[in-house]
């Protein structure tokens, strides 16, 4: 490792980031600028900001490493990411969210829901869910980057963790959503070219697309006994239908993230930063291509790393990584790729981590300042922005602490947990807010509160991977999980929670007084 060259590369990158952040700071004059970028964002910036926020080190390092264990079945997540996370999100959800957000003068996702249903409780409860739960997601993103630096460059994990958190915090605190989106666009561009090179060079290293995939298919007999006994059939085929391996892959990793993307607060707010539907239409193609390359590359390379490690060390990828799937991608980069690419890929991961972290910290800060403090205190304007900035600092501190204490193999699990929680808590309320005028405040609150509580209980006491990682059930009851009958320990809360939240929202709405015509007329004006 040439520290001089590495330092130059990182310095140039950081200077670019700080310059873009400075430009954003100069253009941030009001709370609307800080929260939704003045509602006049260019479609290229919006699309890459959306994509770069969506794709983090959790996707590249965490899910890429998970693909080394679960195989190319994870490519179904890429399909869902494009279909649901880009096409459906932009065309059906984004346009209505943009217009209704403008009509209601909403600056955050919880505020959007609050004004749609005329409920302050929805705003501060949703803000509380975001501020308390999102640090887990931020923590695993930090872990993904720090693990890469530790494994590839041999630098101290703790130093990498703290340094990156501080850098991101600086330009988010001062630049707001403009700082986030401008730097996201730059970082997304870097990510695109870095991942494109990784995909091409991996197939070239393994003898071409067909040959590499055939080698991976031929390794099905090498599936570890523990994985085989729970339903794994290899790295190019889906697990046995209904097996524990299948339930984890499909319900948690694929559906959890593939559906949960629709209700991500840090992504929804981007729809409110553009001035017309034309910008959203133009952003669909850019976002679709970006997501396809980012996730597709991570999952393909993660699975194919088994071929490389078997050829060079006689071990499967997870074995070579010491049993920690979070280290598979960093180890593959450091051993299979030239040193100069390790530097380039570090910038790619820096971009992925910083773009997602910046959005996470911004959303947590605005949740505290706008959705909790302002709603409860009735104080508006500059004071809420100051509290939002303080909230960002607190969020950074919590994420760093979690980066120190969370266990191995947590990146993909932690990401899926956050996506599932938002899907169960927010999706029913969000869908009904956009498409069903009969939805009432009481119905929305029922789905929100019950969905949130059900998901929390499930992750703490029932879901095997989540409960084992969090350790709450073990500490309180002496048991890792309270329900051991299959398949419940491997079924994600989303599978039951989302239908439950929809049923409650609809039934309670039908049993309560319809919303006022005044609120509906304001929200749905010119929505179509």
Query: Do 303 and 219 contact (CB within 8 A), yes or no?
Result: no
Helices assigned H by DSSP within 427-528: 428-435, 441-461, 464-470, 472-477, 493-511, 517-523
CA distances from 201 to 4, 194, 209, 502 (A): 25, 11, 11, 45
pLDDT of residue 166: 78
Contact call for residues 318 and 220 (beta carbons, < 8 A):
no
Joined tokens for residue 315: 């071990």
What is residue 175's predicted lDDT score, i.e. its pLDDT?
Answer: 52
User: What CA–CA distance (Å, rounded) separates 344 from 340?
Assistant: 6
Residue 399 CA neighbour count, 13 Å, CB half: 36
Instruction: Check residue 291 and give its pLDDT.
Output: 86
Domains by residue range for the chain, with CATH: 3-335+355-411 (1.20.1730.10)
In angstroms, the Cα distances linking 135 to 16, 101, 361, 399 are 27, 26, 9, 5
pLDDT in tens, 372-400: 777 777 665 556 667 777 777 888 888 88
Cβ neighbors of 132 (< 8 A, separation 6 or more) are: none
Low-confidence ranges of the chain (pLDDT < 70): 1-4, 6, 17, 21-49, 52-54, 56-58, 151-153, 170-183, 274-275, 355, 378-385, 528
3-state secondary structure of 125: helix
Nearest Cα to 183, choosing from 19, 344, 295? 19
Nearest Cα neighbor of 185 from 21, 301, 370 is 21
pLDDT, position 109: 87
Closest CA to 269 of 438, 428, 421, 126: 126
* Distance from the Cα of residue 169 to its chain's centroid: 18
Q: What are φ and ψ of residue 265, in 5° steps?
A: -55, -40
Q: What is the DSSP string of 348-359?
A: HHHHHHHHHHHH
Give tens-digit pLDDT for 301-348: 999 999 999 999 999 999 998 888 888 988 898 888 887 787 777 777
321-336-293 Cα angle (round to 5)? 90
pTM: 0.81
Among 168, 182, 376, 359, which residue's Cα sits nearest to residue 269?
Answer: 359
């Amino acid at each position: 490792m040439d520290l001089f060259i590495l330092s130059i590369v990182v310095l140039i990158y950081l200077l670019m980031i700080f310059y873009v952040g400075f430009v954003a700071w100069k253009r941030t004059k009001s709370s609307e600028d800080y929260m939704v970028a003045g509602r006049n964002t260019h479609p290229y910036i919006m699309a890459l900001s959306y994509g770069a926020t969506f794709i983090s080190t959790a996707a590249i390092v965490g899910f890429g490493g998970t693909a080394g264990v679960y195989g190319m079945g994870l490519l179904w997540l890429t399909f869902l990411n494009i279909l649901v996370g880009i096409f459906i999100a932009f065309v059906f959800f984004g346009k209505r969210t943009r217009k209704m957000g403008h009509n209601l003068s909403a600056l955050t996702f919880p505020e959007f829901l609050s004004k749609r249903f005329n409920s302050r409780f929805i705003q501060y409860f949703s803000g509380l869910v975001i501020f308390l739960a999102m640090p887990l997601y931020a923590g695993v993103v930090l872990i993904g980057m720090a693990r890469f630096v530790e494994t590839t460059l041999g630098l101290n994990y703790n130093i990498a963790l703290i340094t990156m958190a501080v850098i991101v915090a600086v330009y988010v605190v001062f630049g707001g959503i403009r700082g986030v989106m401008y730097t996201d666009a730059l970082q997304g561009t870097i990510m695109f070219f870095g991942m494109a090179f990784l995909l091409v060079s991996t197939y070239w290293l393994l003898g071409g697309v067909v040959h590499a995939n055939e080698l991976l298919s031929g390794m099905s007999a090498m599936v570890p006994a523990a994985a085989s006994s729970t339903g794994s059939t290899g790295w190019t085929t889906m697990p046995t239908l209904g097996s524990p391996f299948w339930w984890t892959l499909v319900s948690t990793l694929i559906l959890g993230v593939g559906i949960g993307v629709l209700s991500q607060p840090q992504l929804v707010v981007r729809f409110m930063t553009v001035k017309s539907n034309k910008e959203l239409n133009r952003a669909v193609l850019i976002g679709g291509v970006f997501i396809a390359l980012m996730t597709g590359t991570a999952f393909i390379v993660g699975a194919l790393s088994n071929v490389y490690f078997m050829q060079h060390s006689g071990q499967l990828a997870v074995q070579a990584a010491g049993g920690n799937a979070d280290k598979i991608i960093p180890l593959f980069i450091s051993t299979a790729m030239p040193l100069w690419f390790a530097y380039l890929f570090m910038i790619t991961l820096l971009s992925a981590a910083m773009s997602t972290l910046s959005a996470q910290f911004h959303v947590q800060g605005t949740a505290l300042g706008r959705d909790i403090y302002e709603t409860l205190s009735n104080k508006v304007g500059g004071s809420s922005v100051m509290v939002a900035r303080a909230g960002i600092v607190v969020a950074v501190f919590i994420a760093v602490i979690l980066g120190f204490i969370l266990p191995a193999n947590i990146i993909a699990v932690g990401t899926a947990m956050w996506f599932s929680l938002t899907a169960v808590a927010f999706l029913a309320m969000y869908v009904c807010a956009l498409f069903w005028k009969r939805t009432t405040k009481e119905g929305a609150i029922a789905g929100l509160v019950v969905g949130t509580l059900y998901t929390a209980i499930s992750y703490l006491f029932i879901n095997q991977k989540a409960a084992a990682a969090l350790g709450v059930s073990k500490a309180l009851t002496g048991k890792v999980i309270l329900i051991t009958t299959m398949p419940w320990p491997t079924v994600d809360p989303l599978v039951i929670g989302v239908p439950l939240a929809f049923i409650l929202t609809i039934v309670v709405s039908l049993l309560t007084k319809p919303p006022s015509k005044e609120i509906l007329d304001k929200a749905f004006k010119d929505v179509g």
